Chains A and B, each alone.
Chain A
């Protein structure tokens, strides 16, 4: 359940950047290849924000799909699940996107 630590990281990052500000909404981007389960973050969010300036804030999560490029055949593809296998059968692939785990923006009351 590293999502608990991840969600605590969100609270720390927001309170660090905006000390004292009352936060009414947090927008996260959790890429499909980030290794983080968005539902688990949702589950932790109310618990972790309780008693902080983020308490009661709405949580909005976007989950962009992963994008890979095969080093063997050169084709770009969207991986089907967490195992990054090119349609040509090669596992030698570079991840182009979908690994990001970031706070895109917040709304301040």
Chain B
């Protein structure tokens, strides 16, 4: 008779069935709590709306209010010249012109106390690409935030990685201390840490740079340390046997192995920080996010469209460049 260790194990047993039942129960319970049935219900409703079976749907109603106002995107600026300080009509900004427009003005008649309207001709300074220029300046600020935060992350993560790598940490206390710092940095999301950074550095890019820098230092520290730990031991042993100290082994045996991967991580962090730099502005971290939040709060959805399109184009271009660079670097290592 065959003992258990000699038999082919069955693909599932009663434990598997109990486990599956528990998982199904948790899924059903959790789905109710987080509103999954409502999501399904609304998606079903909107799909009926799209194919014409139903006349309206809650999703469509909610979004159409904004979408109707989002197009066309606003790229020009138009300012009443009376509101521009020291306006000089002989010295207009580049590629701009003055436009005469009739506007409806509302005034309260003091005698009748009624609101009266009258038409008046007002001169406007029109810059056809004025708002686009503002958005580009803001996105450049976001790109700068991404670069600086990635640079700060790199500076912080290098010593952290060295001391968080089991085979290089001088002792267990330093190893666990650095590992904890790396985990703590990763654990606090940028959108939370930027709130504290705003208190420390004030509203603007500095708060965003610090929030993103600290968070991504956690990621880089972890990635770098793991690569140091997993680097091929053979070449390290060979250099150790030749009398090389730890840092010499790290420089000559470990770094050449891990460098392409490190550059790929840095590019990924840069890419990620660029995307996040557009978001942290919403809570005071500077850059394009701040502009986006302002326009959204003023219900200027045409401006919001311009901002979203510019963010999309910049992120897409950067994503393509970093993907090509990453492929090139990792491809070379094979």
Genuine A/B complex: no
